[in-house]
Structure 1
Amino acid sequence: MLGIHDFPLYVFSCILLNLTPGQDTMYIIGRSLAQGRRAGIVSVLGIMTGVWVHTLLAALGLSVILATSAMAFAVVKFAGAAYLIWIGIRFLLQSNGADVMPDNRMTARNDRQIFQQGMLTNVLNPKVALFFLSFLPQFVSSRTDTVFLPFMLLGLVFFTTGSIWYLILVHGASRLSQRFRHRSTIGGRLKRLTGLLFIGVGIRLAFAKAH
C-alpha cells in the first residue's frame, strides 16, 4: 500500500500513543481549563501543525541531526523547556483573573498567540522529532523507491487520530471549567494551576535524554 506495510497495526499504535498522556496533552488540557474550548481547539491546531513539521523533517532526513548530535539535541531541548516555563510564568503573573477570557471574547490576536505557542512547544521538543524518525520507518517498505510519500501518509494518520483524541480532551476540559472560569477567584486558581503545569512540563523536558 503506497510503500507502507502493517497499516492496521500502525493505526492501532497511533491510537495508543495518542491516548498516552504527554507534553502535548498537558498543554491542551491546560489551555482548555484556563481559557475555554476555543483556546483548546486553537492549541490542537498549533500542536498538530508541529506534528506536520516533524513528519516533514523526518521524511527529508533532517531529524537525523538531532539523533547524531548531542549539542543539537540539547539546544533544541533547552529552548523548548525555556519556552514552556516562560508560558507557565505568564499564566502565574495573570492569575489574578483579569486575563481570564471566555470563548466569546477571544480575538484573532489571542488565537494567533495560542496557535504559535502550541506549535513551538511541539516543534521545540526534540524527543518528538526522534520519535518520528524512529517510529515511522518501521512501517515503510524497504522496497519503496522514495520514503517521502509514505512518511507523509503515515504522518497524516497520526495527525488524524491525534486531532480526534485531543478535541475530545478539549471538550471535556472546557466543559469541566466552563462554570468556574468567569469567577475571578476560581479562574485565577485555574490559571495558576495551568502555569504550574507548564512549568513542570518544561522542567521535565529540560531533564529529558535522547535515549
Structure 2
Amino acid sequence: MSVELFWAFLAASLLISITPGAGAINTMSNGLRYGLRRTLPAILGLQLGLGIQILVVGVGLGTLLASSELAFALIKWAGVAYLIYLGVAKWRERAVALEAGGAPPAAEPALVRFGKSVLVNVTNPKATIFLIALLPQFLDPTLPRAQQFTVMGVTMISVDVLVMCGFAGLATLIARWLRSPRQQRLLNRLFGGLFVLVAGLLASYRT
C-alpha cells in the first residue's frame, strides 16, 4: 500500500469510527455508568469483534454472507435480537444515586462487558457488507493480500480504539453532571431506545 493510499484509508477509517452506530452507543452507555477505565474491556471487545469481521472478509467468507440470503438473514436477525436485548436491559437498568465524591456503581465483571461488546460487532452483517465494499478499494493487486489486510485491520482497530476511548471519556465527563436517579433513568432509557433504534435499522437493511 502506497503512502497516499494509506492516508486515504486512515481518513476513511476515522470517518467510519466516528459515525454513530451500535459500537459507539455501547461505549457511551458503558462510559456514562462506569467511567473510562472500566469501559476499556468493552472497547477491547468491540475491537475483537471488528477483527473477526475483517478476518471474515479477508478469507472470503464475507462474500458468502453477501450472496447467501439464508446466511445473511440468520446473522442479521441474531444481531437484531441481541441489540433489542441490550436495549431492554438498558431501559430496565436500575439507577444508582451518587452524591458528589461518592463511590462509583458496581460494575458487571470485565469479562461480561468484553463478551457483550464482541457480540455487538460480530452480529452485524451490515458491517461485513460494508467492509466487503470498502477494503478492496484500497488493495494493490501487485502486493500480497494477507499483508495488506493485516495493515488495514491494524489501522482500523487502532483508530477505533482511540475514537471509542474519546466517546467513553466524553461520557465520563457528562456523567459528572448526572448524579440523581431520575437523570440516570432518563439516560438509561435514552440509550435503551437507541439500541432498539439501531436494531430497527439493521432489521430494515437489505443487501
TM-score > 0.5, shorter chain as reference: yes
Q: How does 1:75-154 map to 2 (within 5 A)?
A: 75-95=74-94, 97=95, 103=104, 105-106=106-107, 110-144=109-143, 146-154=144-152
Q: Residue 204 of structure 1: CA displacement?
A: 1.6
- CA RMSD of superposed structures (Å): 2.4
TM-score (norm 1): 0.86
2:186 aligns with 189
Q: Does 1:170 align with 2:179?
A: no
Name the CA shift for 1:54/1:60 in 2 (closer, same or farther; >3 Å): same
The answer to whether the Cα contact below 8 Å between 1:66 and 1:72 also exists between their aligned partners in 2 is yes
1:136 Cα offset (Å): 1.2
The 1:73–1:39 alpha-carbon spacing in structure 2 relative to 1, beyond 3 Å, is farther
Report matched runs for 1:43-62 at 5 Å. 43-62=42-61
Q: Distance in 2 between matches of 1:105 and 1:22?
A: 26
Deviations 1:14-39 (A, max 9, x none): 12222222222222122222343244
Q: Is the 8 A contact 1:33 1:174 kept in 2?
A: yes
* 1:137–1:76 Cα change, 3 Å: same
Partner of 1:198: 195
Which secondary structure does the structure 2 equivalent of 1:12 belong to? helix
1:82-134 CA-to-partner distances (Å, cap 9, x unmatched) read: 00101111122223x2599965743xx52111111111011100011112222
TM-score (norm 2): 0.88
Which shifted more, 25-34 or 6-15? 25-34
Deviation digits for residues 157-201 of structure 1 (CA, Å, limit 9, x no counterpart): 0111111111111101111013424x3232222222221221121
Aligned-partner Cα distance in 2 for 1:94–1:24: 19
1: CA distance between counterparts of 2:134 and 2:185?
40
> What amino acid sits opposite 1:89 in the alignment?
V
Match of 1:207 among 200, 204, 207: 204
Identity of aligned residues (%): 26
The answer on whether the counterparts of 1:35 and 1:102 sit within 8 Å (CA) in structure 2 is no
Q: Is contact 1:59-1:152 (8 Å) kept?
A: no
Unpaired stretches in structure 2, ≥5 consecutive residues: none
Go from structure 1 to structure 2 and tell me whether the alpha carbon gap of 1:193 and 1:73 turns closer, same or farther (over 3 Å shift): same
Per-residue Cα deviation, 1:59-103 (whole angstroms, up to 9, x for no partner):
1111111111111111111100100101111122223x2599965
- Residue pair 1:85, 1:202 contacting (<8 A) in 2 also: yes
3-state SS in 1 of match to 2:176: helix
C-alpha distance in structure 1 between counterparts of 2:97 and 2:147, whole Å: 44
